[in-house]
Structure 1
Amino acid sequence: MKTRFLIVLTILLAVVALVEVYTFQVVKTLFRPRWVHWSYVLLSVLVYGIFFYNLLTFDRKVGQTQATLMATGLFLLFTVPKLLIVPVLFFEDVIRVFIWIKDLIGNSDSSPVTFTERRKFVSQIALGIAAVPFLSLFYGMTKGKYNFKVRKETLHFPDLPNEFDGFTLTQISDIHSGSFDDAEKIQHAIDLINAQESDLLLFTGDIVNNHADEMEPWIAMFKSIRPHTYGKFSVLGNHDYGEYLDWDSPKEKEQNFQNIKDLHQKIDFKLLLNEHVKLQKDAASLALVGVENWGVKFKKAGDLAKAGAGLTAEDFKILMSHDPSHWDVEVKNHPDHYQLTLSGHTHGFQFGIEIPGWLKWSPVKYVYNQWAGLYENASRYIYVNRGFGFHAYPGRVGIMPEITVIELKKGKSIA
């Protein structure tokens, strides 16, 4: 583990060095005063110093803190835009070498003014390109992370009991309460949840980053989510098991896990641990199934057989499973026919591009087949919530925090 960390650190330092060599060229080309150059150098030293200090002193007993979040955010804000500067200037350097060779072979002299003017023009282009991700990341850290969106879907099922025609549910996922830093924005999100007036509220995991006490300052706020006619239910996510920290003892880890499970009761949610409940409406019922976390690359504590014991293919079922990879592997072709699965986990990578009806892209699509929104397979659906909170990067670019409202309708699938 230590050797791997040193290799990653060495590669990271090499990339930073290359980026800074080219970026400093742009600064020198476009800004003549030496105080600007020195100011840039000092700012660079400060940002990189903060980031690498937090990286090297990261305490695996504490985990992510507001300090490490901010250090990561500043590093990305200061580095990612420059990654676009490098290829622009490198391409110009390649052209310059070819021109130099051509002039050398042709025994002609190139005007230094021509190179200087070209370099200035290319530097202006590079700086303009870099401004786009800089402004996007800055917006993501200041506004985007709390720019909550209510997304609505209407799903048709031929086997939906008539009594549940028009039934509505609200889904939230990935609260990550340890990352919050603005109570007013969180209260606004709670108000949005209450405003939907759904029949049922479901939370699909990751109530904290690691520690149960991260949620303590927010309990009263989440407890103020209004009672829903058919209840408020939840499941666990991969971050709820304390798997990403070093604990002094197994007993300490187990106590934290128990405290995390107790949090759900404190905010008036019924936590489903590989079990199901029947939601009754008149003579009809709907089965709500909740499994513990099950992910291809994460903890596999979920037990679908145990959770669905006693249910048949004829029962209409809504499955809550935090990681959408579970749907791909075990659920979508299950003989007991799980009509609707609700997941989260991916956060949509907190970075991407979404233009409704035109484009939906994020780097996370190369990791998960289902990563944001609605997907269908043989009239079985999964909805992947983009997440309520944020983690690692303290912002969201293009993929906004989400409150999902789904209406169930009786009728033929229109997928």
Structure 2
Amino acid sequence: MLRWIVFAIVYIVVGLYALQALKTATRYPWVYYLFIAVSLLVLGNFVYQFTWGAAPGRVLSRPKSYAFGLMLAFFTFQLITILFLFSEDIFRVVSALYHKLTGNTRTFALPERRKFLSLLGLGIAALPFGALLYGMYKGKYNFQVLNYELEFEDLPDAFDGYRITQLSDIHSGSLDDRKKVEYAVNLVNEQESDVILFTGDLVNNLATEMAPWKDLFSTLKAKDGKFSVLGNHDYGDYVDWETEASKRQNLEDLKLIQRDIGFDLMLNESRYLQKGNDKVALVGVENWGRGGFKKAGNLKKAAATIDKNDFKILLSHDPSHWEDVVLFDDTHYHLTLSGHTHGMQFGIEIPGWVKWSPARWRYKYWAGIYKEKGQFINVNRGLGFLGYPGRVGIWPEISVITLKKKA
């Protein structure tokens, strides 16, 4: 409880400081009262959802997510505003001291705030504030189809032009608009890819989260099948289970749901895609992640039944596995498909110009196609969302990868 009291005090102090910008920018009292009322409502809802709210343990429910999203938007607005106020206040204090010490004034008196700086601070703060609200309202379902064409010298001839649709990080427990999700599923089917590969995090925590969506995702179609692996959230590690048995049952239920959807779940296993006499090996590992994430993936076990000379596609949820393990393995994996990062659901991407997200501070390979040691990886930005219930600049992604034989 102490941490919530401390947080509430900090939030209120920051809010009162930011209020000074409003008082300088406008003389209408109702604007101040509205700002105070909304700020307190956001704070009250946030504290309630994360203390006495309905969701038990560490489960991040939809009400918790939206409480967090609104808090993030308002707190960001306040912090950016006070950056301008603070810089001006430093100047005001220095100016007042100078006039006092030089005898220009008999008393220490701060100059009035300048309306221009307050308006500028409020205007700049409104940009991320509006973007975060837009991301919650529209951005989280702004689905993008990203097409990639990758060339390989040793691609089997029959697979020249082979199309792969990669999905990742559905996080069904966060989804809340069936029509939008149905649009995404139809968008996947419109690609008419040869195979669909899903790289983990079907749910946030509980297998039951998928119940309202199972029938919809079972309509995903690909002529050569649908294959999947588990992500870190699929194991139920972020729930305070009453018994270990209930946690194991949750995972078994999730495996059954994947089967009902039509996914061939690979648990440190491999499969072959066959076209005539040519074949491509699919290798699927369980989650392996750096920095405290579950390390159930076993690359050697997963590849035990394939030939070292096969053309290989690896499904591994966390791109840190590729960076730390796959690139240094004796076996050459031509293409690895990952997800996990979500691109932090926030950033700026202008193809050919800018590609930035806070995700790059944690992951070297955080979104899109990378090539190292003659091996490719695609880090899918994810179809769903988690934590902050929105996306800004890093939109939900459907990856379509075309394999080409290099001339």
Q: TM-score range by the shorter chain?
A: over 0.9
1:275 is the counterpart of 2:306: no
Aligned length: 405
Aligned residue in 1 for 2:406: 411
Selected match of 1:230 from 224, 231, 235: 224
Who is 1:92 aligned against? 88
CA apart distance, 1:112? 12
* SS of residue in 2 equivalent to 1:287: strand
Q: In the alignment, which residue of structure 2 is the partner of 1:104?
A: 100
Tell me the residue number matched to 1:44: 39
Give the 5 Å matches for 1:179-328.
Answer: 179-226=174-221, 228-297=222-291, 298-328=293-323
Give the drift of 1:114.
10
More divergent stretch after superposition (170-179 vs 28-37): 28-37
Question: What are the equivalent positions in structure 2 for 1:329-368 lying under 5 Å apart?
Answer: 329-368=324-363
Contact 2:8 2:43 in 1 (8 A): no
Cα shift readout 1:120-155 (whole Å, capped 9, x = no counterpart): 221101101111101111110111000000000000
Letter in 1 for 2:41: L
**Distance across 2 between alignment mates of 1:381 and 1:35:** 57
Taking the aligned partners of 1:10 and 1:166, their CA distance within structure 2 comes to 59
Distance 2:399 2:211 in 1: 25
The alignment-based identity, stated in percent, is 50
Distance in 2, Cα, partners of 1:11 & 1:355: 40
Cα separation, 1, equivalents of 2:56 and 2:328: 39
Q: CA deviation at 1:49?
A: 0.4
Task: Tell me, yes or no, if structure 1 residue 64 matches structure 2 residue 35.
Answer: no
Question: Could you give the per-residue CA deviations for residues 107-126 of structure 1, whole angstroms, max 9, x where no partner exists?
Answer: 1149999933x432211011
Change (3 A) 1:10 1:319: farther
Does structure 2 conserve the Cα–Cα contact (< 8 Å) formed by 1:60 and 1:244?
no
Asked if structure 2 preserves the Cα contact closer than 8 Å seen for 1:312 and 1:336, the reply is: no
CA distance 1:84–1:111, shift in 2 (3 Å): farther
Cα distance in 2 for residues equivalent to 1:205 and 1:388: 11
Aligned AA for 1:146? Y
CA distance in 2, matches of 1:112, 1:14: 29
Deviations 1:151-195 (A, max 9, x none): 000001111111111111000000000111111100110111000
**Are residues 373 and 111 of structure 1, via their aligned partners in 2, closer, same or farther at CA, if it must alter by over 3 Å?**
farther
Aligned equivalents of 2:8, 2:396: Cα separation in 1: 32
The separation in 2 between residues aligned to 1:15 and 1:277, in whole angstroms, is 54
SS in 1 for 2:383: coil
Amino acid in structure 1 at the alignment position of 2:380: N
Q: SS of 1:208's equivalent?
A: coil
* Residue type at the aligned position of 2:90: V
Mapped contact 2:268–2:298 kept (Cα < 8 A): yes
DSSP-derived class of the 1:293 partner:
coil
The 3-state SS of whatever aligns with 2:325 is helix
Matched residue SS, 2:37 = helix
Instruction: Look up the match of 1:395.
Output: 390
3-state SS of 2:313 partner: strand
Q: What TM-score comes out, normalization by structure 2 length? A: 0.95
CA contact (8 A) 2:17 2:82 kept: yes
Q: How does 1:165-180 map to 2 (within 5 A)?
A: 165-180=160-175
Whole-Å separation in 2 of the counterparts to 1:393 and 1:41: 23
CA pair 316-30 structure 1, distance change in 2 beyond 3 A: same
CA distance in 1, matches of 2:120, 2:187: 42
SS at match of 1:240: helix
Please state how far the C-alpha of 1:400 moved relative to its aligned partner: 0.1
Whichever residue aligns with residue 227 of structure 2, its letter is: F
Paired residue type of 1:318: I
Give the distance between the partners of 1:10 and 1:364, measured in 2 at CA: 30
Q: Which of the numbers 122, 125, 142 marks the counterpart of 2:120?
A: 125
Please give the TM-score of this superposition, normalised by the length of structure 1: 0.94
Deviates more, 1:33-42 or 1:145-154: 33-42
8 Å Cα contact 2:96-2:108 kept in structure 1:
no
Q: Secondary structure at the match of 1:108?
A: coil
In structure 2, stretches of 5+ residues that fail to align are: none
Q: Would you say the 8 A contact 2:188–2:398 is kept in 1? A: yes
SS in 1 for 2:363: coil
State the 1:376 CA deviation: 0.5
Counterpart amino acid of 1:75? M
Report the residue type matching 1:104 in the other structure: K
**Distance in 1 between the 2:288 and 2:9 partners?**
37
Contact 2:313 2:337 in 1 (8 A): yes
